[in-house]
Amino acid sequence: MRLVRRFIARGSALAAVGALFVAPSVAAAQTQGTTDRQVTFTKDVAPIVQRSCVGCHRPGEMAPMSLMTYEDVRPWARSIKARVAAREMPPWHIDRTLGLQSFKDDPSLNDEEIATIVKWVDSGAPRGNPADMPPAREFADSSQWQIGKPDLVVKFPTYVVPPAGPDQFGNLYADIPIDSDRYIQAIQTRTTTAQARKVVHHALSYAVDGPQETNGDDSQGVDGGQFLVEYASGKNAEVYPADTGVLLQAGKKAMVSYHLHSVGEEVKADIELGIKLHPKGYVPKHIRWSKQLAQPTVDLDIPGGTVARTDGYTVLHKPARIIAFQPHMHIRGKRQCFELIYPTAGSSATTEIINCANFNYNWHLTYNYKDEVAPLVPAGTILHVITWHDNSSANKANHDPKNWVGDGQRTIDEMGFSWIGWYDLTEEEYKQQLAERKELQSKPVTATGGQQQQ
Ligand code: HEC
């Protein structure tokens, strides 16, 4: 039911833009299928909760309560209704009315699933027939490596989180024991104990030259450093597509930028990185990059009580396949849109909105495109990122709507760029991937792509 078809064959810029702003007309169909009978936990709600919630809401993970069983879920029914109806849970902030809608590991609920939960709560949250209950979802022991045995384990120094107090932000460093440049095949951040898992809100890892001046920010990028991997609660291992790797240069230090929070007892936050490497001397066909792109063209200048817009642009000098989009702002962050400006000489079909996402500083979400939609772009494409900051009292996270805010590293300062994940293509690979995409799209499926018409 997702509205994704329109990216396929674009007739004209007008047709494309027209289609972009049509909201999905699913409202009428929302409750179909569940209107005529009682909605129960075991039959209707448990499958949704198992798919979209228990990844975080289970014992030992960082969400505040387990949602594994009816007994777990029942006391939270009202709160669950409120959070899912407001699309606050599961955390996923992509605007569903425009752009690509096909992502890897998308936990978000469709309108029908939300309607089912709302109806279940409104009808008294009945359990239903225990025989309808799906088997509990199995999880690998979260203290095991999901990438298999790593070739390298980088352990960061222990950080002791006090029982109470404000959130802790900062950087920790460790050596990376390699003597020549290597390529990462798979990487995973893990916390070594269930207790540690509870206190780690985010941990972003980089390869850097040495200690950084940044602090007060859990996800600030670094000068000359390379982003390796992001970790947030519920995040699994990153395994890159075949023939793809992330460059790990010899002589760098590993840095983890952390955001930790207190949970009522003293906890040792041990964080480590497990890395599987491609064999020595092997250079993968594609190097996967993830960088902070399209920085605002002007200094951020956001007077108290206002909403400000900035624009940033990055030119891709080679053809590319874009594989991920992650908005980055701080607490005034409101929304970000990611658009492509194609290098067409003529006047038609030169831009395309790829995605817009609302923003909540508590959740730094990466949106990974499914292979069949990952935008394929020609050399000379410009990434255009539009960022809105809300420094008014309408932004609930804004503790200080009277004050001016500008650029800076601290959480109370602002930023506005995107983490973009991509790999470069040769002209030949680009043509080949485009041809494969067209072939796919000529079939009656909902595959899409942001590629330019040739
Ligand atoms: C990525 C991890 C994650 C996923 C997936 C997730 N949650 Fe949460 N949830 C959290 C965290 C962390 C909190 C506490 C922070 C907050 O309230 O935002 C939370 C808070 C909540 C709360 C508020 C609890 C309170 O103290 O009032 C409810 C209700 C909730 N989640 C329901 C759900 C439901 C229902 C789903 C699935 C449809 C879901 N969550 C999916 C991580 C997650």
**CATH code of the domain in which 240 resides:** 2.60.120.310
Of 41, 45, 48, 53, the one to substitute when testing ligand 1's pocket (max ligand atoms within 8 A of C-beta) is 53
**pTM score, whole prediction:** 0.80
Q: Confidence class of residue 454 from pLDDT cuts 50, 70 and 90?
A: very low
Task: List, chain by chain if needed, residues with CB within 6 Å of any ligand 1 atom.
Answer: 49, 52-53, 55-57, 62-64, 76, 79-80, 83-84, 89-91, 107, 109, 233-234, 362
Q: DSSP characters for 59-100?
A: TTSSSSS--SSHHHHGGGHHHHHHHHHTT-SS---B-TTSS-
pLDDT for 55? 86
Q: What is the CATH classification number for the domain harbouring 296?
A: 2.60.120.230
Report CA-CA distances (Å) from 18 to 14, 142, 324, 441, 454.
6, 46, 25, 20, 21
Ligand 1 atom having least distance to the Cα of 48: 38
Provide, rounded to the nearest whole percent, the portion of the chain with pLDDT above 90: 56
- CA–centroid distance, 63 to ligand 1, in Å, is 6
Q: Is residue 214 over pLDDT 70?
A: no
Rounded to the nearest angstrom, the gap between the alpha carbon of residue 370 and the centroid of all alpha carbons in its chain is: 13
Q: For the residues 181-210, what does the mean pLDDT come to?
A: 85
Q: Which two structure tokens, joined as six digits, stand for 7? A: 């990216």
> Which H/E stretch holds residue 121?
helix 111-122
Q: Confidence class of residue 346 from pLDDT cuts 50, 70 and 90?
A: low
- Residue 376 contacts residue 112 (beta carbons within 8 Å): no
Q: Is residue 328 over pLDDT 50?
A: yes
Q: Is residue 305 part of a domain?
A: yes
Q: Which of 27-31, 77-81, 193-197, 348-352 has the highest mean pLDDT?
A: 77-81
Residues 98 and 16 in one domain: yes
- Name the residue with the closest Cα to ligand 1, atom 33: 89
Which residues have CB under 8 Å from 25's CB, separation 6+?
none
- Name the residue with the closest Cα to ligand 1, atom 16: 63
Rounded to the nearest angstrom, the gap between the alpha carbon of residue 247 and the centroid of all alpha carbons in its chain is: 21
Radius of gyration of the chain (CA): 23
Q: Which of 229, 263, 284 is the last residue of a domain?
A: 284
Report CA-CA distances (Å) from 118 to 21, 53, 174.
27, 16, 48
Q: Is residue 445 over pLDDT 60?
A: no
Ligand 1 atom having least distance to the Cα of 52: 37
Residues 165 and 243 in one domain: yes
* Alpha-carbon span 151 to 141, nearest angstrom: 20
Range in 15-19, 122-126, 133-137, 201-205 the model is least confident about? 15-19
pLDDT for 341? 94
Q: Which of 240, 265, 284 is the last residue of a domain?
A: 284
Q: For the residues 397-403, what does the mean pLDDT come to?
A: 91
| Mean pLDDT over each residue of the chain, to the nearest integer | 84
Query: Residue 346 belongs to what domain range?
Result: 289-441
Q: Is residue 4 over pLDDT 80?
A: no
In this predicted model, which residue has the larger pLDDT, 203 or 444? 203
pLDDT for 444? 61
Phi, psi dihedral angles at 80 (to 5 degrees): -65, -45
pLDDT for 220? 42
Q: Confidence class of residue 36 from pLDDT cuts 50, 70 and 90?
A: low
* Alpha-carbon span 216 to 232, nearest angstrom: 17
In this predicted model, which residue has the larger pLDDT, 205 or 71? 71
- CA–centroid distance, 56 to ligand 1, in Å, is 8
- Name the residue with the closest Cα to ligand 1, atom 35: 80
Q: Is residue 449 part of a domain?
A: no
Q: Which of 284, 312, 334 is the last residue of a domain?
A: 284
Ligand 1 atom having least distance to the Cα of 62: 12
pLDDT for 211? 74
* Alpha-carbon span 7 to 441, nearest angstrom: 10
pLDDT for 145? 83
> Which H/E stretch holds residue 307?
strand 307-315
Q: Which two structure tokens, joined as six digits, stand for 193? A: 């104990």
Q: Is residue 262 over pLDDT 70?
A: yes
Number of domains in the chain: 3
- Over residues 93-136, the pLDDT tens digits come to 999 999 999 998 899 999 999 999 999 999 999 999 999 999 99
- CA–centroid distance, 431 to ligand 1, in Å, is 43
- CA–centroid distance, 85 to ligand 1, in Å, is 13
- CA–centroid distance, 80 to ligand 1, in Å, is 8
Residues 321 and 429 in one domain: yes
- CA–centroid distance, 368 to ligand 1, in Å, is 21
- Over residues 218-251, the pLDDT tens digits come to 344 444 467 788 776 556 677 777 788 998 989 9
